[in-house]
Structure 1
Amino acid sequence: MTAPLIYLIAGEPSGDLLGARLMRALKDKTGGNVRFCGVGGPHMCAEGMESLFDMAELSVMGLTEILPHIPKLLNRIKQTVLDVETQKPDCLITIDAPGFTFRVAKQLKGKGIPLVHYVAPTVWAWKPGRAQKIAQFLDHLMVLLPFEPPYFEKEGLATTFVGHSVIESSLESIDGNAFKERHGIPQDVPLLCLLPGSRMSETSQLLPVYKIALKQLKEKFPTLRIVLPTVSSVARYVKETTADWGIPILIVEGNDEKFGAFKAADVALAASGTVSLELALAKTPSVITYRLKKITHFIAKRLIKVKYASIVNLLHNKYVMPELLQDECTPDNIVREVSHILSNHDNSKTQSNELDSAMKMLGLGNEQKPSERAAECVLNIINKER
């Protein structure tokens, strides 16, 4: 039989990394006897995909932020559907980014192509009716969290818990002490890791608040050092914005530097998102923050049904990582929570232990990696169709 052709669509950096790991696992399990096409970012392209267009066009977040891009997004949906129909893949795997990927999948329902989605919509957090809606056009769903399958299985959608891909991050070989030595940071001074987000909509909202908080923290902890891992999408803005803060900030880029900063840090101050799980994997005590534009927050707070923003807190059903969201995200509150960790080793140790426990719930220590379980699921679907 010819090598199966798998069409993958990712819409943002986290999905690109997830897709790349899945592609790598599929190649391993088939001995390389597999072909790929679709839409992805640099990680997926490095695994052998030629992206239909630049994935960065899809990395738009927030109601007010997305409106100017609607005409172009609609054209990309049409282009992608046509390409899938032309390629006739053995399976279509859409990865997160439901605003784009679900619109593509709906138009391909009934075309004889198995439709698999990777990363469940958060029906447990808001809009529970979405489970029934996606069950009408998807054939299979692969989820990251252990409590998600029942929400979709009761609607008749086949669902597989594969584990969270964050546990595949290459943290074992990263040495926090080496990071400090490399950047001239004394081993005995406190280090704060600052993570204002990977999207401009996040970074622009959080940096002004962080600036005031950091000045207060430097007064309380004069030897405090600050490292800020960033990504290419916001790196220039971050560097220009922090240049006049009057506080020395070490800005680093790349995964090795980012994870080195996590391992070296005594505490992290981070935007809510996947990075909170990466920090949990590194056992870095953290404070989670988030701010939205007022109109987006006004709508979101009327839809969200869960108490916690962080997955770690959801898994434990309590505040393991302190959360300062929207109006609670103030300099004074940030200073209080960060100081609570820096001033008390027991507080830091307790959070680190509970972070490790959460990672085990997501598959850390299991015989198979999440990407390997996902690859098996996809191959079983393709073999059944064939």
Structure 2
Amino acid sequence: MKLFLIAGEASGDKLGAALMAAMRELGPQVEFVGVGGPEMAGQGLESLFPMEELSVMGLAEVLPKYRALKRRIAETAAAVSAARPDALITIDSPDFCLRVARLVKAADPGQKTVHYVAPSVWAWRPGRAAKMAEVIDHVLALLPFEPPYMTAAGMSCDFVGHPVVAEPHASEAEAAAFRETFMIGPDQPLALCLPGSRVGEVKRLGPRFDEALMRLRDREPGLRVVVPTVQGVAKLVRDMTARWPVAPIVVVEPEDKRAAFAAADLALAASGTVSLELAASRTPMVIGYDASFVSWHIMSRMLRIDTVTLVNLVSETRAVPEFLGPACRPGAMARALLELLESPERRKAQLTAMEVTMARLGAGGEAPGRRAARSVLAFLER
């Protein structure tokens, strides 16, 4: 069996690596070709070109690289046609992956195609599903409510579980050691500040999150703050937080981030997958997010749901307070954080929603990568 895989970002690289490992365990002898990063390389993939060339987001970032990306799309599609794989498996990064799939299908309508990570058509732009169905045969969904949207558009789809349920978590001992290392008392309140992983998010949300936490500190003078971040924005975060009235602890290494999540009493976080990471560590949270005036105006008109927080959506509750767009203000977020600290009922409601969320995402069951491999094999046998 030969599979052609394409991943364009670090998250997709992890999904691809887990899928490759499971395919080797479950399937016949498999040959992998395509585009991926270091995780997939660890499973034996020799990438056609560096995956980092595809990790660009936003109009300002894409425009200067448009010609190069267009060339890579054509080059990748030609490589798929030359390889004649049993399936083309594209992983997230729809702007690149689905353009490749369209060229591949045009050259060979019979080529089987799988896309890993369903587009969030339940939130906005529902027409994307029908457009994707023109070039994708089968979808691997991360969220349990996504398959009906995909099948309605004409694709087969399996819910395979979210990778967050397979991520390692820090033990109580590691959490206690984290507090001891940074001289945070066992009863001292500890808050996480998570303003995002992209430069624009950090610049926009960082100062607001800081002010919200400063207001919380007025009521909780012993409050300590940790900012877990990623390497790509670590310098920006350190430079920014050094100017805050009370400089927080900044951590970058994965093991330190896991320990911080386990040690924290609550978190103020940007909207996104981080809400699931906090749920996995049972850390109560408040969500805040804003974009530029024009972007938010467009997004708010297109949204089809009343909450964007995945914990709320998966658990079918509204336990996690969120402050989006014009509502993303320090005073309101500070009040919500204080309520989380002072109200056992609000914390219990969140913890219950988190338990439901993790169970529905596949916690305690077969690993998502293995479920994805089973889905691919079943699709190819049909």
TM-score, normalising length from structure 2? 0.93
Larger CA deviation: 295-304 vs 220-229: 295-304
Measured after TM superposition, the shift of residue 222 of structure 1 is: 1.2
| Alpha carbons of structure 1 residues 51 and 295: separation in structure 2 relative to 1, 3 Å | farther
Where does residue 132 of structure 1 map in the other structure? 130
2:53 to 51, 57, 65: 57
- Tell me the residue number matched to 2:217: 218
**Could you report, residue by residue, the CA deviation over 1:185-237 in whole angstroms, capped at 9, with x for unpaired residues?**
22110111111111222222211212222322222211111111111111111
Of stretches 81-90 and 357-366 in structure 1, the one that deviates more from structure 2 is: 81-90
CA offset at residue 347 of structure 1? 2.0
What are the ranges of 5 or more consecutive residues in structure 2 without an aligned counterpart?
none
Q: CA deviation at 1:63?
A: 4.3
Q: What is the correspondence of 1:185-334 to structure 2 with a 5 Å cutoff?
A: 185-334=184-333
> Structure 1: which amino acid aligns with 2:52?
A
1:162 shift after superposition: 1.0
Is residue 39 of structure 1 aligned with residue 32 of structure 2?
A: no
Greater displacement, 188-197 / 288-297: 288-297
The residue that corresponds to 1:90 in the other structure is 86
Partner of 2:10: 13
- Does structure 2 retain, via aligned residues, the 8 Å contact 1:63–1:296? no
Shift of 1:88: 2.8
Q: Distance in 1 between matches of 2:249 and 2:25?
A: 38
Tell me what 1:99 maps to: 95
User: What is the aligned partner in structure 1 of residue 376 from structure 2?
Assistant: 378
Helix, strand or coil at the partner of 1:6: strand
Amino acid at match of 2:303: I
CA apart distance, 1:65: 4.7
Structure 1 residue 79 displacement after superposition: 2.2
* 1:22 maps onto 2:19 in alignment: yes
1:113-152 maps to which residues of 2 (within 5 A)?
Answer: 113-152=111-150
Q: 1:172 to 1:6 in 2, by over 3 A?
A: farther
Displacement of 1:154 in angstroms is: 2.3
Contact 2:171 2:262 in 1 (8 A): no
Q: Secondary structure at the match of 2:317?
A: coil
For the Cα contact (< 8 Å) 1:61–1:201, is it kept in 2? no
Is the contact between residue 64 and residue 296 of structure 1 (CA under 8 Å) also seen in structure 2? no
Distance 2:326 2:279 in 1: 25
More displaced stretch, 331-340 vs 48-57: 48-57
Q: 2:72 is matched with which residue?
A: 76
Q: 1:276-315 CA deviation, whole Å, 9 max, x = no partner?
A: 1111111110111112122222222221211111111112
Distance 1:53 1:300 in 2: 34
Rounded to whole Å, the distance in 2 between the matches of 1:63 and 1:295 is 13
Deviation at 1:89, TM superposition (A): 2.5
Structure 2: how far apart are the matches of 1:114 and 1:351?
Answer: 42
Give the counterpart letter for 1:138 in structure 2: I
8 A contact 2:136–2:155 mirrored in 1: yes
* Cα offsets for 1:304-335 (capped at 9, x unmatched): 21111111111233322111111111111221
Question: SS of 2:228's equivalent?
Answer: strand
Question: Within 2, Cα distance between the matches of 1:223 and 1:24?
Answer: 46
Amino acid at match of 2:348: K
2:159 — aligned with what?
Answer: 161
How far apart are residue 172 of structure 1 and its match? 6.3
